Amino acid sequence: MADWYGGFPKPTKPIRVEGGIRARSKRGEIAQTWWSRRFIEVLESFGMGGRLQRGKNYARAGQVLNLTLSTSVVVGLVQGSRPQPYRARIGIKAFSAAEWEQVERALAGQALYAAKLLAGEMPPEIEEVFAGLGLELFPTTMRQLTMDCSCPDWEIPCKHLAATCYLLAESFDADPFQILAWRGRSREELLDRLRSLRGTTSGPAAETDDAAPLSESLETFWAAPELPAPPAGLASAAPDALLDELEPLPVEIGGEPVIDLLRPAYRAMAARQG
């Protein structure tokens, strides 16, 4: 009974650790981007101020020893007052392969979405894409999350889960693709799929069979087209991201789409400039 007071766990000081994961934010809000705030808003909607504040303090003090994310599950090892770290788990339902296929086709149909994703940015309109398919990218209630912790506190979320959530939100700040990976699609899988779909999506030029042969348009083929200015936020885009903004070219060389053949050249030029 020494560990309990008035029916609640007796407050104890955690064992301080070296080399833990520390939140970058030192005060105020932890989540900075709109997409990570979506996640934190669900956690904070329960109004469990005390536990959430202690969890935030844990995150800033480096009490989380390890944080791993895989499809559907995030696991944090959190050092509390006992020698053995607690295991905090946060689960969410991953989208099925069929649902992801619908999402990818919808995203590939919008050049701007694909370009922003290739630039490492989460376009705000992406929520509308998921909603249009009857899906929710971000959890809107705690019922959509499953949480458990090996600590003796039966309240959910406990401070260890809260600390894990705050650090998870910071990882979303740094890499929005973590949200998509949690839902079942890694960065590489999604971008490869978008490139593939963008290369085969039918457009006005691809719908006709009487396009002039390449031999009759050599004088103008290599002339640079007048492209719209890239949207804001693409300064750090992948070197070949601009190719994904173009409508698919109805030209193949050796059975390969010409856009795919141009990608290595774009990357090589960017590497020389760097």
Angstrom distance (rounded) from CA 99 to CA 42: 23
* Proportion of the chain in helix, strand, coil states, percent, rounded to 5: 45, 10, 45
Q: What is the DSSP letter of 122?
A: -
Domain count, the chain: 2
Task: Answer whether residue 35 is part of any domain.
Answer: yes
Measured CA angle at 19 (ends 154, 49), to 5 deg: 35
Task: Answer whether residue 229 is part of any domain.
Answer: no
Do 64 and 180 sit in the same domain of this protein? Answer: yes
pTM above threshold 0.75: no
Contact 116, 191 (CB under 8 A): no
Q: Residue 259 belongs to what domain range?
A: 239-274
Task: Answer whether residue 70 is part of any domain.
Answer: yes
| Closest by Cα among 129, 136, 40 to 93 | 136
Angstrom distance (rounded) from CA 71 to CA 160: 21
Q: What is the DSSP letter of 231?
A: P
Per-residue pLDDT of the chain (274 residues; tens, 9 = 90+): 444 444 555 567 888 888 889 888 777 778 788 888 888 887 777 666 677 888 899 999 999 999 999 999 999 999 998 989 999 999 999 999 999 999 999 998 888 887 888 777 888 888 899 999 999 998 888 788 899 999 998 888 899 999 999 999 999 888 889 999 999 999 899 988 988 887 744 433 333 344 445 455 445 444 444 433 433 332 334 454 444 444 445 555 666 666 566 767 766 665 665 5
Do 95 and 22 sit in the same domain of this protein? Answer: yes
Angstrom distance (rounded) from CA 58 to CA 12: 13
Do 139 and 53 sit in the same domain of this protein? Answer: yes
3-state secondary structure of 153: coil
Please, is 64 exposed, middle or buried when counting C-beta atoms within 10 Å of its C-beta (0-12, 13-18, 19+)?
buried
**Cβ count near 254 (within 10 Å):** 5
Task: Answer whether residue 3 is part of any domain.
Answer: no
